[in-house]
Amino acid sequence: MTGRALLSVEDVAVDLPTARGNLRAVDHVDLALAPGRTLGIVGESGCGKTMLSRAILQLLPKQAKLAGRVMFDGQNLARCDEPALRKLRARSLAVVFQDPMTSLNPVLTIGTQLIETLQEHLALDLGAARKRSAELLAAVGIPAPEQRLAQYPHQLSGGMRQRVAIAIALSCEPRLLIADEPTTALDVTIQAQILDLLAREQRRRHMAMILITHDLGVVAGRTDEVAVMYAGRVVERAPTQALFKRMQMPYTEALLGAIPKLDAAPHAPLPAISGRPPDPTRPLAGCAFAPRCRYADGHCASAKPPLSAAETPAHHYACFHPLRLAEGAGA
Amino acid sequence: MMLDVMRAAWSGTLLKVENLVVEYGAGSKTVHAVSDVSLEVARGETLGLVGESGCGKSTLGRAILQLRRATSGRVLFDGEELTAMKGEALRRMRRRAQLIFQDPIASLNPRRRIGDIVAEPLVISGVKDAREREAQVSEVLSAVGLDPALVMGRLPHEFSGGQCQRVSIARALVLKPEFIVCDEPVSALDVSIRAQILNLLEEMKARYGLTLLFIAHDLAVVKAVSDRVAVMYLGRLCEVGQSAQLFARPAHPYTALLLEAIPVPDPDVRPAERVPAGEPPSPIAPPSGCRFRTRCPRADQQCREEIPQLRLVAPGQHVACHHPLA
């Protein structure tokens, strides 16, 4: 962590009542992010990464119960009222979702959606808002931006729609951008373009960014720090280099090992993780990964390992039997 | 046939696709989904088929199984022309060739029990003895790593995505087919489950002596299971080659672009800074000549005018490009 935090998530827990009982979606998470930095949050479906981002944005489902504090620029978002939150989300806290149609209105033109946002929040007049909209579309790599303003979302490809969603998210110069699986629905060549675009705009604007993904490959080259989540908890958190070079948590190792590698020989068996994540409505007494972990023993089944500091700075992990890996191992 | 050289290297050809064209109408326009594709799959081989969404790879897989009829061209399976077959003859052939879908949950009937879902192909193919069916279903469920006693009476919604994909694989295997088209079988699954299913497919291939056409957009996934790989772009094949070789020395600029764009889980590998701009054009109006030319850094006048044909550039490696990479 360098500099003063723009965002700090302090002991945040999210509970969701379900027919099968209480579901602890986020289990006491602490995170901090300084301006201009990128944090990757990695985990598989159901690990709580999206619920955590919604807790930060205060966009949780109505029945959800949030505990802990979400401090953004000195104020606790959990205590803000709806008008204040609306203003914050418009100006300072932007979000890009996996499916761009989540944030785009299908019956309004791209231009209307951008221009309205700019007029509402930056008090620009129509001419200025229109000019700024075209500039934003050009900045996110949309060819012929003037013509695009008159088009509807369905007339664009998935990659182009995601660019429009990014343009809207960036339109009011946010200080924090949360990108929740922004490229999962896109093809690999388009994914690379969108990730490049996000990285470029993030640097240019000195914006803080949270990149949420299931793909360790996406965070490896594009984040300063990474938090790995499993069953609602952050199980390892470290500067990106340290995480890949000296990972401590067996789950992180297993997740990395399970990715097919381009340099592996054809037909080489993959080191798969056996079993599957635990039922979140039936919390385990011990480490949630223990039933699938090859290092687990009786202690792991009965006690929850706390998030503790590794030898390397800013590196934390939640495991009783951390890995002792040499440089470069784990691949 | 240009692929004859390759064919000689294998013990025998199970599947042969010749100049296959699949086009369909979209209003007054025509979608050129598959254009003049020829390929062969040897018995016991896994051919990977990669490409981005809309490149026609799934349509090609379905046209091979006659789930979508080709506009022209031929599909030969074990020497018999599927494209000329109808009715009972085609149904009989279909027992030997099965399909596994991408979405494991949507491809299972939510109201039917797992035991019945997996037994359905046996019912259709006329296995009348219920006990015989149950024995075969049990065997194949055990083979895919599910406990028949526990799962047969349950419904799909009681299972995770990975388990549903195991059920789909069991259903595809129950008729003891020779050939399976796997259409993005792991794309909808989490990383940790994906590896389990890929390993399972490899085990099943060895156990049942299968030949596979493995369709996916993820090159690393394809490489993990394939002997040879075919790369498809906008309805045409760009490159076909032995996997190790194709990944080490791609000859088609599009293959190189795909490889470049994959995010590598290593912070020392900087992401490609210059992935070319642009997106695949519409298959309704594909570019003249080489279909990749609008995104290709090497494109010139020849690429605009002449359709490049697949030709041998290295032993076991064919490329359809006027200016292949050295």
Q: Considering chain B, what is the average pLDDT of its residues?
A: 91
- Write out pLDDT tens, residues A138-152: 888 888 899 999 999
- Dihedral angle sign, alpha carbons of residues A275, B262, A240, B277: negative
Tell me how far apart the alpha carbons of residues B106 and B95 are, in angstroms, rounded to a whole number.
22
- Chain A segment 46-105 residues within 8 A of B by beta carbon are none
For residue B230, give how far its alpha carbon lies from the nearest alpha carbon of chain A (Å): 15
Q: Which residues of A294-328 are buried (b: 16+ CB within 10 A; e: fewer)?
A: eebeeebeeebbebeebeeeebbbbbbbbbeeeee
pLDDT at B288: 96
Please name the member of A141, A195, A255 whose beta carbon is closest to the beta carbon of B271.
Answer: A195
Task: Give the alpha-carbon dihedral of B111, B113, B119, B121, to 10 degrees.
Answer: 20
Mutate to test the interface with B, among A188, A211, A252, A327 (most CBs of B within 10 A): A188
Mutate to test the interface with A, among B204, B229, B266 (most CBs of A within 10 A): B266
For residue B262, give how far its alpha carbon lies from the nearest alpha carbon of chain A (Å): 6
Give the mean model confidence (pLDDT) for residues B124-132. Answer: 93
Asked if A157 and B220 come within 8 Å (Cβ–Cβ), the reply is: no
Please name the member of A196, A214, A266 whose beta carbon is closest to the beta carbon of B190.
Answer: A214
Give the mean model confidence (pLDDT) for residues B113-136. Answer: 95
Yes or no: say if B155 and B112 are a contact pair by the CB < 8 Å rule.
yes
pLDDT at B260: 87
Residue A263 tokens read as 């340099």
Asked if B261 and A188 come within 8 Å (Cβ–Cβ), the reply is: yes
Tell me how far apart the alpha carbons of residues B139 and B159 are, in angstroms, rounded to a whole number.
19
pLDDT at B11: 58
Tell me how far apart the alpha carbons of residues B227 and B223 are, in angstroms, rounded to a whole number.
8
Asked if A272 and B277 come within 8 Å (Cβ–Cβ), the reply is: no
Number of A to B CB contacts under 8 A, please give it: 138
Yes or no: say if A33 and A5 are a contact pair by the CB < 8 Å rule.
yes
Residues of chain A contacting B190 with CB distance shorter than 8 Å: 44-45, 214
Asked if A196 and B275 come within 8 Å (Cβ–Cβ), the reply is: yes
Tell me how far apart the alpha carbons of residues B39 and B19 are, in angstroms, rounded to a whole number.
9
Q: Is the pLDDT of residue B2 over 70?
A: no
Residue B322 tokens read as 């006027």
Q: Is A163 on the interface with B (CB under 8 A)?
A: no
Burial of A241 (0-12, 13-18, 19+ CB in 10 A): middle
- Write out pLDDT tens, residues B230-274: 999 999 999 999 999 999 999 999 999 999 888 888 888 876 655
Give the mean model confidence (pLDDT) for residues B171-176. Answer: 96
- Write out pLDDT tens, residues A252-305: 999 999 988 888 888 989 888 888 888 888 889 999 999 999 999 999 999 999
- Chain B residue with CA closest to A47: the answer is B190
Asked if B202 and A269 come within 8 Å (Cβ–Cβ), the reply is: yes
Q: Is A265 on the interface with B (CB under 8 A)?
A: yes
Axis-axis angle for helices B161-173, B191-208 (nearest 10): 10
pLDDT at B273: 59
Give the mean model confidence (pLDDT) for residues A308-324. Answer: 92
Q: Is the pLDDT of residue A127 over 80?
A: yes
Tell me how far apart the alpha carbons of residues A103 and A96 are, in angstroms, rounded to a whole number.
8
Q: Domain ranges in chain B?
A: 2-96+177-264+273-319
- Write out pLDDT tens, residues B288-324: 999 999 999 999 999 999 999 999 999 999 999 999 9
Q: Is the pLDDT of residue A2 over 50?
A: no
Q: Which residues of B100-125 are buried (b: 16+ CB within 10 A; e: fewer)?
A: bbbebbebbeeeeebbebbbbbbeee
Asked if A157 and B194 come within 8 Å (Cβ–Cβ), the reply is: no
Q: Is A155 on the interface with B (CB under 8 A)?
A: no
- Write out pLDDT tens, residues A173-197: 999 999 999 988 788 888 888 898 8
Q: Considering chain A, what is the average pLDDT of its residues?
A: 91
Axis-axis angle for helices B161-173, B114-124 (nearest 10): 20
Mutate to test the interface with B, among A259, A261, A279, A292 (most CBs of B within 10 A): A259
- Chain A segment 29-48 residues within 8 A of B by beta carbon are 44-45
pLDDT at B1: 47
Does the domain at B2-96+177-264+273-319 match CATH 3.30.230.10? Answer given as no
Q: Is A235 on the interface with B (CB under 8 A)?
A: no
pLDDT at A3: 58
Asked if B226 and A192 come within 8 Å (Cβ–Cβ), the reply is: no
Q: Is A269 on the interface with B (CB under 8 A)?
A: yes
For residue B83, give how far its alpha carbon lies from the nearest alpha carbon of chain A (Å): 32
Closest CA to A165 of A87, A96, A90: A96
- Write out pLDDT tens, residues B8-43: 444 599 999 999 999 998 888 999 999 999 999 999
Asked if B220 and A190 come within 8 Å (Cβ–Cβ), the reply is: no
Q: Is the pLDDT of residue A327 over 70?
A: no
Give the mean model confidence (pLDDT) for residues A35-39. Answer: 96
Q: Is the pLDDT of residue A99 over 90?
A: no
Axis-axis angle for helices A126-139, A158-170 (nearest 10): 130
| Residue B155, CA atoms < 13 Å, CB-side half-sphere | 5
Q: Is the pLDDT of residue B5 over 60?
A: no
Yes or no: say if B21 and B59 are a contact pair by the CB < 8 Å rule.
no
Residues of chain B contacting A331 with CB distance shorter than 8 Å: 266
Q: Is A165 on the interface with B (CB under 8 A)?
A: no
Strand (E) or helix (H) holding B233? strand B228-233
Please name the member of A188, A217, A268 whose beta carbon is closest to the beta carbon of B265.
Answer: A217
pLDDT at A189: 84
Asked if A262 and B223 come within 8 Å (Cβ–Cβ), the reply is: yes
Q: Is the pLDDT of residue B183 over 70?
A: yes
Asked if B220 and A256 come within 8 Å (Cβ–Cβ), the reply is: no
Please name the member of A157, A216, A266 whose beta carbon is closest to the beta carbon of B279.
Answer: A157
- Chain B residue with CA closest to A216: the answer is B265
Helices (H), chain B: 4-8, 57-64, 87-94, 114-124, 130-143, 148-151, 161-173, 191-208, 219-225, 243-248, 253-261, 301-305
